[in-house]
């Protein structure tokens, strides 16, 4: 079983559309994250959720919103997509303390 799974793996959509990326973890972890990989492969934190509460909300556009229906899921909703939103988005999870993070396989979003 995949520990952290994201769907879809690839997403091509037009500017102005609204889309969602789903993330699920079966590790029983308390905290989940969304990272954006920029063109230089740099991973930048977007959001993290701990026990269904948003604990970090970095300076991302409010068109991006995380939604956590339960502890095992953290979905990323993006409204009014722009060309600059094209990137690879990674979901991750970790247990409390200094534990390692486990990453999903990434979702490559292309806005045309």
Q: Which is nearer to other proteins, 16 or 61 (CB)?
A: 61
Mapped onto helix, strand or coil, the DSSP state of residue 32 is: strand
Q: How far apart are CA 72 and CA 88, in angstroms?
A: 21
Q: How far apart are CA 74 and CA 21, in angstroms?
A: 9
| Out of 8, 16, 61, 96, the residue judged to bind other proteins by CB under 8 A | 96
Q: Which is nearer to other proteins, 13 or 103 (CB)?
A: 103
Rounded to a whole number of angstroms, the distance between the first and last alpha carbons of the chain is 34
| Out of 12, 55, 63, 80, the residue judged to bind other proteins by CB under 8 A | 55
Q: How far apart are CA 98 and CA 111, in angstroms?
A: 36
Minimum CB distance to other proteins, residue 94 (Å): 8
**Residues within the interface to other proteins (CB under 8 A):** 4, 30-31, 33, 35, 40-45, 48, 50, 55-56, 90, 96-106
């Amino acid at each position: 079983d995949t520990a952290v799974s994201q769907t879809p793996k690839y997403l091509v959509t037009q500017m102005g559309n609204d889309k969602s990326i789903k993330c699920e973890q079966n590790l029983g972890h308390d905290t989940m994250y969304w990272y954006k990989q920029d063109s230089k492969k740099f991973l930048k934190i977007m959001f993290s959720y701990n026990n269904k509460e948003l604990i970090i909300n970095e300076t991302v556009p409010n068109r991006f919103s995380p939604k956590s229906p339960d502890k095992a899921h953290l979905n990323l909703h993006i409204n009014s997509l722009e060309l600059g939103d094209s990137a690879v988005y990674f979901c991750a999870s970790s247990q409390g303390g200094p534990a390692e993070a486990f990453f999903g396989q990434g979702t490559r979003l292309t806005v045309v």
